[in-house]
């Protein structure tokens, strides 16, 4: 059975050792952020902080709900998909992509727990919710770091869901980055602001964990995240209409913030500790989100993500799963002989490793042309193309191949003008404003002409340097015959 709401997911995580409850008072001013950041970096269980200093309405914080797991990096993603928390990456990615191919349309219902409390007008006070001050140097308290923002294209039925940041300006006013290359930016700047119209929005927190997963993903424009979330959970989502606009949100959401964004209105927002692992974007004028209504469950739970250098939700969901699955789809559509693709955790989705079948002249050029020709081009500053005797998910093996087989001159392709992401720290302000960047490709494939006069290099690894029967015998007797621990025992 799919998870009914965030609370059922939390119970499953607690049962699996992936959640702890902190009942002692925790300060929203940096302490919440420090706890959540350390959870990401050491892979501790997520923390349900039930006693937030100054919060009197029973609201609590769920810190790092889908960051690096305790049992393995992706344990909480596996639980969210109702899989074994010890499931490996390949099994998870295979199941994830298979379910994404079978979307299920949501069902609209008349009511839901998210309507238990309805606040409008002077009753709205964003500071009454447990919005944390996450990193020293942030521009303010960020109420939204792992909520899902819904906006509708006025020219079609497409409703976009995305995870974006929102800082509190006043009791009923927020602000955040709206990048032109993101779907929310395409909708706001081109469909509303260009016509002088205000854009309705809704931000919801909680509900089935697949909603947050999909909000962090990047399907093509026009594709419904609500339908794909239904596919991920293998049951339709139950959605309910908002109080002040026509957007639909999960009926079991914990907190819902409704409002509008006026055209050409900007207030200073930021800076903020980014998903790239740095505080890389300056405080500057950005769109203003005015709140018209807040609804929430009794004793609502606010999930938060504390971005930084290691394995937070953005890196795992957006980098490892969304970007990698999108790259695989693009390579398949282009008909390239790509065996696998992987964005290694810990590198902040800056690198894509691609393994290709040997014997295809110019294959690295074709691979990088596909990446640069899609929206993925703003994300991967580095693309590493290696032969398929390398396991893409083994970063040490891939790096060894790149450092030993990439010709320092002919094998390095530098793109001085490539799509750039405004949060990348090496870009100056002008390039960030215009989404201009640079990129490098490392071609570690074996040249087709190699081997005519010299022996081809053969990788000296367990997979490549021994016959299948020898490998099978060693694996079968690894514990029973040799008394050696399994791979899993090395990590815990």
Using CA atoms, how far residue 383 sits from 325, 333, 376, 377, 403, in Å, is 15, 19, 11, 10, 13
**Who contacts 95 (Cβ-Cβ below 8 Å, separation ≥6)?**
81, 83
DSSP 8-state class, residue 128: G
**What is the secondary structure of 168-217 as a DSSP string?**
EEETTEEE----TTSHHHIIIIIIIGGGT-PEEEEEEEESSHHHHHHHTS
pLDDT, tens digit, 9 for 90 and up, residues 130-147: 999 999 999 999 999 999
Closest by Cα among 106, 167, 80 to 132 = 167
Helices 89-100 and 324-334 cross at an angle (nearest 10°) of 60
Burial class of residue 489 (count of CB atoms within 10 Å of its CB; 0-12, 13-18, 19+): exposed
Closest by Cα among 293, 291, 295, 221 to 262 = 291
Q: How far apart are CA 303 and CA 207, in angstroms?
A: 11
Task: Please give the mean pLDDT across all residues of the chain.
Answer: 90
Residue 492 scores a pLDDT above 50: no
Give the pLDDT band of residue 354 (cuts 50, 70, 90). Answer: very high
Residue whose entry in the numeric block shows the structure tokens 């750039």: 420
pLDDT at residue number 484:
84
Mean pLDDT, residues 345-360: 86
Q: How far apart are CA 6 and CA 211, in angstroms?
A: 10
pLDDT at residue number 455:
62
Percent of the chain topping pLDDT 70: 93
The total of other beta-carbon atoms located within 10 Å of residue 58's CB is 13
Q: How far apart are CA 405 and CA 442, in angstroms?
A: 9
Residue 491 scores a pLDDT above 60: no
pLDDT at residue number 454:
58
Residue 420 scores a pLDDT above 70: no
Contact, 133 vs 263, CB < 8 A? no
Contact, 66 vs 81, CB < 8 A? no
DSSP 8-state class, residue 486: P
Give the pLDDT band of residue 489 (cuts 50, 70, 90). Answer: very low
Q: What are phi and psi of 473, to 5 degrees?
A: -65, -40
Mean pLDDT, residues 287-294: 98
Residue 256 scores a pLDDT above 60: yes
Lowest mean pLDDT among 20-29, 204-213, 363-372: 363-372
Strands (DSSP E) contained in 309-350 are 338-342
Q: How far apart are CA 273 and CA 137, in angstroms?
A: 8
**Any idea how long the chain is?**
492
In order of start, what are the domains of the chain with their CATH numbers? 6-304 (2.30.110.10), 335-444 (3.40.1670.10)
DSSP 8-state class, residue 29: B
Closest by Cα among 83, 63, 86, 72 to 10 = 63
Give the pLDDT band of residue 315 (cuts 50, 70, 90). Answer: confident
Closest by Cα among 334, 461, 310 to 398 = 461
Contact, 448 vs 359, CB < 8 A? yes
């Amino acid at each position: 059975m799919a998870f009914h709401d965030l609370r059922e997911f939390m119970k499953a995580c607690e049962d699996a050792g992936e959640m702890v409850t902190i009942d002692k008072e925790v300060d929203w001013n940096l302490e919440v952020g420090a706890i959540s950041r350390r959870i990401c970096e050491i892979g501790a269980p997520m923390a349900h902080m039930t006693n937030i200093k100054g919060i009197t309405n029973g609201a609590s914080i769920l810190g790092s709900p889908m960051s690096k797991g305790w049992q393995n990096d992706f344990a909480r993603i596996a639980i969210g998909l109702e899989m074994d928390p010890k499931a490996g990456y390949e099994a998870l990615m295979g199941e994830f992509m298979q379910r994404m191919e079978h979307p299920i349309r949501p069902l609209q219902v008349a009511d839901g727990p998210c309507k238990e409390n309805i606040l409008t007008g002077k009753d709205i006070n964003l500071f009454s919710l447990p919005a944390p001050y996450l990193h020293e140097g942030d521009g303010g308290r960020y109420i939204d770091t792992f909520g899902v923002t819904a906006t509708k294209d006025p020219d079609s039925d497409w409703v976009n869901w995305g995870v974006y940041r929102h800082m509190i300006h006043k009791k009923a006013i927020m602000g955040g980055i709206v990048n032109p290359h993101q779907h929310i930016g395409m909708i706001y700047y081109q469909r509303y602001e260009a016509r002088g119209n205000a854009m309705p929005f809704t931000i919801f927190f909680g509900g089935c964990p697949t909603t947050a997963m999909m909000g962090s993903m990047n399907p093509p424009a026009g594709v419904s995240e609500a339908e794909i979330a239904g596919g991920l959970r293998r049951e339709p989502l139950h959605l309910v209409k908002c109080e002040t606009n026509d957007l639909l949100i999960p009926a079991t959401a914990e907190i819902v913030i409704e409002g509008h964004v006026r055209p050409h209105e900007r207030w200073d927002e930021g800076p903020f500790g980014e998903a790239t692992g740095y505080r890389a974007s300056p405080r500057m004028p950005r769109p203003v989100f005015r709140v018209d209504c807040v609804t929430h469950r009794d004793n609502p739970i606010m999930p938060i993500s504390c971005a930084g250098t290691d394995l937070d939700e953005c890196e795992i969901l957006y980098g490892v799963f969304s970007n990698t699955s999108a790259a695989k789809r693009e390579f398949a559509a282009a008909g390239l002989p790509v065996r696998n693709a992987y964005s290694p955790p810990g590198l902040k989705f800056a690198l894509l490793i691609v393994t290709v079948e040997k014997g295809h002249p110019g294959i690295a050029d074709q691979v990088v042309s596909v990446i640069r020709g899609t929206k993925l081009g703003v994300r991967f500053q580095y693309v590493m193309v290696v032969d398929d005797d390398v396991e893409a998910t083994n970063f040490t093996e891939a790096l060894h191949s790149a450092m030993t087989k990439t010709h320092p001159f002919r094998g390095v392709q530098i793109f001085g003008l490539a799509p750039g992401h405004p949060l990348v720290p090496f870009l100056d302000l002008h390039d960030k404003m215009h989404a201009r960047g640079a990129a490098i490709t490392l071609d570690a494939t074996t040249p087709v002409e190699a081997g005519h006069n010299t022996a081809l290099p053969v990788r000296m690894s367990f997979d490549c340097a021994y016959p299948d029967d020898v490998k099978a015998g060693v694996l079968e007797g690894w514990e029973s015959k040799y008394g050696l621990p399994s791979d899993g025992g090395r990590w815990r």
